[in-house]
């Protein structure tokens, strides 16, 4: 008969008290960041079909939802604008206008919440361009990196003037963090921080987001977002964004890229955020609605996995719901 091992890991799992005592990971409400959509010209909030429980907001419903998030312990929201289709153009010019939908939403939340809630704005042109790309196109229809940077500067400055505490360049143009930092500092916005989408993959998990923002994109973003087959490229992107002056780095999507998240968090002394994207949210909600999984348990398990892998912050459409349970 084989001798039983004396090393018995099950000892420390025998009761809730033991399990609580040895738990290595905690998710706090303040770790969570809620992405929100403000839409121009809506009279009622509109639920996004592929993201049950997530809305295109009116100004009123945006403020209410932000209030609920704050009450639950969430400290930061990330705003995306959905302009009227007729306001889109080739250069996404509404993005930098003071009366553009996103900048008005930033201003309204900042006025209401002051410094109690951190207001972050998405700094990318795709919601505002008629072709749906994250940048402007050259004469051959390619996304023109350096011409796009000029517009990101203008957009980031408009967001800072509107009262954003954080801007978040998500377009994956080379040099975007350095240029935005320089533009912000040049106008005295030295306290406005940058959460950099550093490792952002050309992912099919973004599918439902395209409905959420009424995207006009034909084709794909593979000339600027990363190839899912690559890992080291993410480390390069992280190093560049850190050197360019980012305050927080980010990996996106989340669960399929935990390897990247973990490596990034070991490599840098900056906080590394992760974005649990629309498709990840939609899959959990769809399976839960079918009774195929326990939605609440899977939600909390996925958030725990991000923290375990090294995330400092988690952008998630579950933020308010999860914060209430934590
Ligand atoms: C681009 C942007 C996207 C997302 C956040 N910022 C879409 C894309 O790159 O195609 C996706 C977020 C999600 O899927 O939840 N501004």
Return the sign of the alpha-carbon dihedral for residues 66, 248, 159, 187.
positive
Which residue has the CA at smallest separation from atom 1 of ligand 1? Answer: 170
The pocket around ligand 1, CB under 6 angstroms, is made up of 122, 124, 126, 134, 170, 206, 209, 221, 277-278
Which residue has the CA at smallest separation from atom 10 of ligand 1? Answer: 206
Residue 140: exposed, middle, or buried by beta-carbon count in 10 A (0-12, 13-18, 19+)?
exposed
Ligand 1 centre from 308 Cα, in Å?
Answer: 24
pTM higher than 0.95 for the full model? yes
Mutate-to-test residue for ligand 1 from 126, 152, 210, 279, highest number of ligand atoms within 8 A of CB:
126
The fold of the 25-217+227-325 domain, in CATH, is TIM Barrel (3.20.20)
Q: Which atom of ligand 1 is nearest to the CA of 281?
A: 15
Ligand 1 centre from 263 Cα, in Å?
Answer: 22
Give me the catalytic one of 88, 97, 200, 307: 200
Give me the catalytic one of 88, 97, 252, 307: 252
Which residue has the CA at smallest separation from atom 7 of ligand 1? Answer: 206
Residue 127: exposed, middle, or buried by beta-carbon count in 10 A (0-12, 13-18, 19+)?
buried
Tokens at 159, concatenated: 């967001």
Ligand 1 centre from 209 Cα, in Å?
Answer: 6
Ligand 1 centre from 155 Cα, in Å?
Answer: 17
Confidence at residue 24, expressed as pLDDT on a 0 to 100 scale: 98
The model's pLDDT over 171-184, given as tens digits with 9 standing for 90+, comes to: 999 999 999 999 99
Mutate-to-test residue for ligand 1 from 126, 168, 205, 206, highest number of ligand atoms within 8 A of CB:
206
CB 73 within 8 A of CB 29: yes
The model's pLDDT over 230-257, given as tens digits with 9 standing for 90+, comes to: 999 999 999 999 999 999 999 999 999 9
DSSP for residue 103? H
Ligand 1 centre from 109 Cα, in Å?
Answer: 22
Confidence at residue 94, expressed as pLDDT on a 0 to 100 scale: 98
Catalytic annotation present for 200: yes
Confidence at residue 1, expressed as pLDDT on a 0 to 100 scale: 64
pLDDT (tens place) for every residue of the chain, 326 residues total: 677 878 899 999 999 999 999 999 999 999 999 999 999 999 999 999 999 999 999 999 999 999 999 999 999 999 999 999 999 999 999 999 999 999 999 999 999 999 999 999 999 999 999 999 999 999 999 999 999 999 999 999 999 999 999 999 999 999 999 999 999 999 999 999 999 999 999 999 999 998 888 888 988 999 999 999 999 999 999 999 999 999 999 999 999 999 999 999 999 999 999 999 999 999 999 999 999 999 999 999 999 999 999 999 999 999 999 999 99
- Preceding amide of 151 cis, omega within 30: no
Residue corresponding to tokens 């099950």: 10
- Preceding amide of 253 cis, omega within 30: yes
Catalytic annotation present for 252: yes
Q: Which atom of ligand 1 is nearest to the CA of 122?
A: 16
Residue corresponding to tokens 């360049």: 169
Which residue has the CA at smallest separation from atom 5 of ligand 1? Answer: 170
> What span, in angstroms and rounded, lies between the C-alpha atoms of 140 and 162?
35
Ligand 1 centre from 124 Cα, in Å?
Answer: 9
Confidence at residue 51, expressed as pLDDT on a 0 to 100 scale: 97
């Amino acid at each position: 008969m084989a001798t039983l091992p004396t090393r018995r890991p099950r000892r420390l799992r025998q009761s809730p008290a033991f399990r609580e005592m040895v738990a290595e990971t905690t998710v706090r409400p303040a770790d969570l960041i809620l992405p929100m959509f403000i839409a121009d010209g809506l009279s009622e909030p509109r639920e996004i079909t592929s993201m049950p429980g997530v809305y295109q907001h009116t100004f009123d419903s945006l403020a209410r939802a932000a209030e609920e998030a704050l009450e639950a312990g969430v400290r930061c929201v990330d705003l995306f604008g959905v302009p009227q289709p007729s306001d889109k153009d080739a250069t996404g010019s509404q993005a930098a206008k003071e009366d553009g939908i996103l900048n008005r939403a930033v201003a309204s939340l900042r006025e209401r919440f002051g410094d109690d809630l951190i207001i972050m704005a998405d700094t990318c042109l795709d919601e505002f361009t008629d072709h749906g790309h994250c940048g402007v196109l050259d004469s051959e229809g390619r996304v023109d990196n350096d011409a796009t940077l000029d517009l990101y500067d203008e957009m980031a400055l408009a967001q800072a003037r509107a009262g954003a505490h954080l801007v978040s360049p998500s377009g994956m143009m080379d040099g975007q963090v350095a240029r935005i930092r320089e533009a912000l500092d040049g106008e005295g916005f030295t306290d406005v921080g940058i959460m950099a989408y550093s490792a952002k993959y050309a992912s099919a998990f973004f599918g439902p987001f395209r409905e959420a923002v009424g995207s006009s994109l034909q084709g794909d973003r593979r000339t600027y977002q990363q190839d899912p087959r690559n890992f080291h490229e993410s480390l390069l992107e992280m190093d560049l964004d850190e050197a360019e002056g980012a305050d927080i780095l980010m990996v996106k999507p989340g669960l399929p890229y935990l390897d990247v998240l973990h490596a990034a968090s070991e490599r840098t002394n900056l906080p590394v955020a992760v974005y649990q994207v629309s498709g990840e949210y939609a899959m959990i909600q769809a399976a839960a609605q079918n009774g195929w999984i326990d939605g609440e348990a899977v939600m909390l398990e996925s958030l725990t996995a991000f923290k375990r892998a090294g995330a400092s912050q988690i952008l998630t459409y579950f933020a308010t719901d999860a914060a209430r349970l934590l």
